[in-house]
Amino acid sequence: MLNNTFNNQENSSIESINPVDSLEVLLHKLMNRVRQYAELSDILSVTVNEVRVFLETDRVKVYKFDTDGSGEVVAESVNECLPSLLGQHFPAEDIPVEAREMFQTVRQRTIVDVTAQTIGLSRFLYPDSDNNDIWFRHVDPCHIEYLISMGVNSSVVVPILYRQQLWGLLVSHHSVPRNVTERELQVLQLVADQLSIAVGQSTLLQQTRILAQQEATINRVAKLLHSMTEMQLQQALELAVSGLQASGGRVYIAPQKPNEEPQIYSCGSGCILSEDYCDWLTTQPTLPELNHIWVINDLLVSALPEYLANDFNKAEIRSLLIVRLEYHTSIVGYLSIFRSSIDTETLWARRRDPLDERHLRPVKSFEAWQELKKAQVNPWTAPEIDLANSLGSHFAMAIQQYQLYQKIHAANYNLHRDIEQRKLFESKISALNAELETRVLERTTELQQANTELKHEVKERQQAQASVERLSRYNELILNSAGEGIYGLDANAKLTFINSAGARMLGYQVEELITPNKHFLESVIKHTKPDGTAYKWSENPIRATLEYGKVQNICDDIYYRRDGTKFPVEYISTPIEEQGQIIGAVVIFKDITERQIIERMKDEFVSIVSHELRTPLTSICSALGLLSNNSLDSQPVKKHRMLEIAFENTNRLVRLINDILDIERINSGKVSMHFQICNAADLMTQAADEMRAMAEKAEITLCVAPLHAQLWADPDRIVQTLTNLISNAIKFSPAGSSVWLSAEIQMTPHILFKVKDEGRGIPEDKLETIFDRFQQVDASNSRNQGGTGLGLAICRSIVQQHGGAIWAESVLDQGSTFYFTLPLLRGA
Ligand code: ADP
């Protein structure tokens, strides 16, 4: 297209540039034309047009070298005499290395005349030569053949240098032989120099453009990345990929915490790669530690694990750029940019094939040949690597800042949520508090009211309790002070209470008896009928109380003590009723052992007394009977005897009755003792005096040894006791024997009286019983000795009333001694 454009301009150029203009004018005009264009291709096209106008040759072209020595016709102005070579590539060997070196080092210019087979060489920088010096020599036949095959008979070549390096050639071809003047060469040299400048400017412009483009890319990427609220990483990646003319990319963001998953963003061919790539990337030891960027131009020649090579192959990735994303010292992730292979298209001036025989021979034709190369590496250029590096920095910074932002945001969010929750909580609490306060207020009022009532109730209850306790104490006192045993039973005959007298009678402590689940009647008191046979429960009298509420008054039952001994009882069982229901029974029992003994004794006493009274009465009755019918009137002795008998028996009867009444009165406490200070010696003397007549009558010697001691006693009763003992001693002693009355002081302090005789003695087993009423060693005593069997009983009663003791010691047929003690007067 350019070619056409400039061909169209050809006419105007011809008008403006005249071959005969001065060199300066020519150059001025040329530069004016050139300055209108900024692009190198435009400048080159204008230049070749202007130069061809100036030279009036068939072709003027600019040939540009590649780095490998090959070259391409980048600008051409040609007429119909020669075929166009524009855009065609020529292999490196077409212009040998030596020639290229001469172009560069001494800026050698060549002028070939095919017809003359000469080549004119002019070395612009050759020492000791004029710049325009040309010398000619024979040209290389190959060169001639090369030019001929191109249809060229005359050529001029001037090197174009950029920064001391061979950049290209300004070439003029003419189909017919033509001389090249020194001026023309000078013009061409000047044009080549200007082109060098243009190349420099163009390169600078190009670089500036690339930089501007890169900056724009960086800015756009940065804008996307550095949005604080939303990091548009995906779009930024896509932009980076397109800015680097890549096929895809991937960003790997390393997890911030050990249990977190990494974040991966992919685009283009990067999406096809499996996660293995990132795993490989993070564990890649070959990544140079100090280099942030890793450039792989051709993955096919890189030593990759097979699974990765397959992955890359599948994703059609050929080149790889890895930027380690670092912020300060921490690695935040990796940015990977992928590039596919590309197909190249080169238009060669001829086929360059080492096997092509034409290549071995001198060039004969220039048949244009389009070479297509598939799957070529599209390597990373230095600016691209720089761009990737810069982008990487932005990614790293943005990720770091975003993560920081996220953290702050999360913290803010949590803080906000906490505050909200706290506010909610506080409002709930204050609502609850208000409710609670109301409730507390209500409750307090209720409680105060209840409290007042309660206090009142408590007071009443305390009073009631006190009454109950008082009553209970009274009851307990009554129960415990009662001589009778009292116990309570529940409906199942289990003991509910027992007073201490009851427990004591049974041989227990109260606490021992109050044990639950024990049938009290059957397992504790085990009471039986009077004959000892056990009650069946069905016939137990207390059962009738418990079941029918019958009050039972039993007076001849037997209870058993803990030790197995039994005792006779009488008891009353009364039901306990509550709301018409019998809930138990109270049993009051009494040990009637004593009473039974007394009753027995009373019975015995009555029978003895009646016997003792009846005997004298019978004698009196029969004596008086005989006297009353006057049958003994004729027998005065017998009649007198009868009267004596009646008199004696009457006396005996009087004595008996006196004794009986005496003992009863003393025992029952009806006879009060008249205590006074008295002298023991006086009492002993008085008693002895009273008994002296009886002793003399019985021919017994009564010996008295009075002892002076002060006593607090009833003197009459003590004299009665002493006379009774002396009388017994006289009664049961033979005539001629002696009776001694003596006394002695004891330490206790007591006085001990002794009445000793030499009589018949008392059997040992009777020594105690003789002190009981109506007890005599021999029943005939009462008849023979006129005794009643009551004397010693009266003595014991009197002594005991004085706080003393009385006992007897005796040896059969040798005599007896009766002792009694009396307390001495204190301080006497
Ligand atoms: P009594 O009127 O029969 O003497 P006592 O009570 O005085 O009644 O004596 C009871 C019995 O004790 C007497 O009947 C007698 O058998 C016996 N007794 C009392 N004193 C003596 C004694 N000094 N020597 C032998 N027997 C005595």
Among 229, 781, 126, 505, CA closest to 790: 781
Cβ of 713 below 6 Å from ligand 1:
no
Give the model's confidence band at 14: pLDDT under 50 very low, under 70 low, under 90 confident, else very high. very low
Give the model's confidence band at 762: pLDDT under 50 very low, under 70 low, under 90 confident, else very high. very high
Question: Taking residues 681-700, what's their average pLDDT?
Answer: 94
Cβ of 759 below 6 Å from ligand 1:
yes
Cβ of 774 below 6 Å from ligand 1:
no
Cβ of 792 below 6 Å from ligand 1:
yes
pLDDT score at 40? 87
pLDDT score at 3? 35
Cβ of 576 below 6 Å from ligand 1:
no
Q: What percent of the chain stands above pLDDT 70?
A: 91
Among 311-320, 346-355, 416-425, 582-591, the least confident range: 346-355
Structure token digits, residue 114 = 């095919």
Cβ of 7 below 6 Å from ligand 1:
no
Distance 163 CA to ligand 1 centre (A): 180
Cβ of 757 below 6 Å from ligand 1:
yes
Q: By three-state DSSP, how is residue 458 classified?
A: helix
Distance 728 CA to ligand 1 centre (A): 5
pLDDT score at 107? 87
Buried b / exposed e over 654-680, threshold 16 CB at 10 Å, is ebbeebbebbeebbeeebeeeeeebbb
Structure token digits, residue 267 = 């685009």
Characterize the bridge pairing of strands 701-704 and 738-745: parallel
Q: Where are the extended beta strands (E) located within 690-762?
A: 701-704, 710-713, 738-745, 750-756
Structure token digits, residue 575 = 């039901």
What is the tens place of the pLDDT at every residue in 641-650? Answer: 888 888 988 8
Cβ of 728 below 6 Å from ligand 1:
yes
Residue 245 identity (one-letter amino acid): Q
pLDDT score at 358? 42
Among 23-32, 84-93, 324-333, 416-425, the least confident range: 23-32
Q: How far is CA 235 from CA 74, 214, 224, 323, 397, in A?
A: 38, 16, 7, 18, 16
For a substitution probing ligand 1, which of 781, 784, 798 has the most ligand atoms within 8 Å of its CB?
781
Question: Taking residues 355-363, what's their average pLDDT?
Answer: 48
pLDDT score at 8? 36
Cβ of 787 below 6 Å from ligand 1:
yes
Cβ of 791 below 6 Å from ligand 1:
yes
Query: Residues 6 or more apart from 58 whose CB is under 8 A from it?
Result: 78, 79, 81, 82, 173, 174, 175
What is the tens place of the pLDDT at every residue in 46-80? Answer: 889 988 988 899 999 999 999 888 999 999 999 98
Q: How far is CA 205 from CA 22, 46, 211, 349, in A?
A: 32, 18, 10, 30
Ligand 1 atom, smallest distance to 787 CA: 2
Find the helix or strand (DSSP H, E) in which 434 lies.
helix 382-481
Query: Residues 6 or more apart from 148 whose CB is under 8 A from it?
Result: 114
Ligand 1 atom, smallest distance to 724 CA: 7
| Residue 617 per-residue DSSP state | H
Cβ of 760 below 6 Å from ligand 1:
yes
Question: Taking residues 10-27, what's their average pLDDT?
Answer: 56
Question: Taking residues 626-640, what's their average pLDDT?
Answer: 84
Please give the residue that has the higher pLDDT: either 779 or 103: 103
Structure token digits, residue 343 = 């197909």
Distance 620 CA to ligand 1 centre (A): 25
Ligand 1 atom, smallest distance to 781 CA: 14
Query: Residues 6 or more apart from 783 whose CB is under 8 A from it?
Result: none
List the Cα angle 428/432/434 in 5-degree steps. 120
Q: By three-state DSSP, how is residue 258 classified?
A: coil
Question: Taking residues 469-475, what's their average pLDDT?
Answer: 76
Which residue shows structure tokens 């002296």? 692
For the chain, domains (ranges, CATH) are 19-207 (3.30.450.40), 227-341+377-435 (3.30.450.40), 482-670 (3.30.450.20), 672-823 (3.30.565.10)
Question: Taking residues 587-595, what's their average pLDDT?
Answer: 88
Cβ of 402 below 6 Å from ligand 1:
no
Which residue shows structure tokens 């963003």? 265
Q: What is the largest CA-CA distance in the chain?
A: 246
Classify residue 572 by burial, with Cβ atoms within 10 Å: 0-12, 13-18, 19+.
middle
pLDDT score at 60? 95
What is the tens place of the pLDDT at every residue in 312-335? Answer: 888 899 999 999 888 877 888 899
What is the tens place of the pLDDT at every residue in 721-731? Answer: 999 999 999 99
pLDDT at 360 over 50: no
Please give the residue that has the higher pLDDT: either 504 or 350: 504
What is the tens place of the pLDDT at every residue in 98-152? Answer: 889 989 988 889 999 998 899 988 887 765 556 667 788 888 888 888 888 888 9
Q: How far is CA 739 from CA 92, 191, 557, in A?
A: 189, 199, 53
Distance 451 CA to ligand 1 centre (A): 85
Q: How far apart are CA 310 and CA 273, in angstroms?
A: 10
pLDDT at 759 over 90: yes
Residue 827 identity (one-letter amino acid): G
Q: How far apart are CA 85 and CA 72, in angstroms?
A: 9
Cβ of 777 below 6 Å from ligand 1:
yes
Among 128-142, 542-556, 562-576, the least confident range: 128-142
Q: By three-state DSSP, how is residue 623 classified?
A: helix
Task: For the chain, give the mean pLDDT.
Answer: 84
pLDDT score at 415? 85
Query: Residues 6 or more apart from 644 whose CB is under 8 A from it?
Result: none
For residue 559, the cross-strand partners are: 567
Find the helix or strand (DSSP H, E) in which 815 lies.
strand 815-823
**Backbone CA torsion sign across 504, 506, 511, 512:** positive
Structure token digits, residue 528 = 């039986």
Question: Taking residues 800-823, what's their average pLDDT?
Answer: 94
Find the helix or strand (DSSP H, E) in which 571 lies.
strand 566-578
Q: How far is CA 69 from CA 13, 92, 122, 553, in A?
A: 33, 4, 22, 153
Q: How far apart are CA 826 and CA 828, in angstroms?
A: 5
pLDDT at 816 over 90: yes
* DSSP structure string for 501-542: HHHHHHT--HHHH--SS-BHIIIII--B-TTSPBPPGGG-HH
pLDDT score at 19? 55
What is the tens place of the pLDDT at every residue in 224-272? Answer: 887 756 778 899 999 999 999 999 999 999 888 888 888 899 999 888 8
Ligand 1 atom, smallest distance to 778 CA: 16
Among 150, 158, 167, CA closest to 74: 167
Among 113-122, 167-176, 368-377, the least confident range: 368-377
End-to-end CA distance of the chain: 177
Give the model's confidence band at 210: pLDDT under 50 very low, under 70 low, under 90 confident, else very high. confident
List the Cα angle 475/477/481 in 5-degree steps. 120
Structure token digits, residue 271 = 């999406």
Cβ of 778 below 6 Å from ligand 1:
yes
Q: How far apart are CA 359 and CA 353, in angstroms?
A: 7
Give the model's confidence band at 697: pLDDT under 50 very low, under 70 low, under 90 confident, else very high. very high
pLDDT score at 713? 93
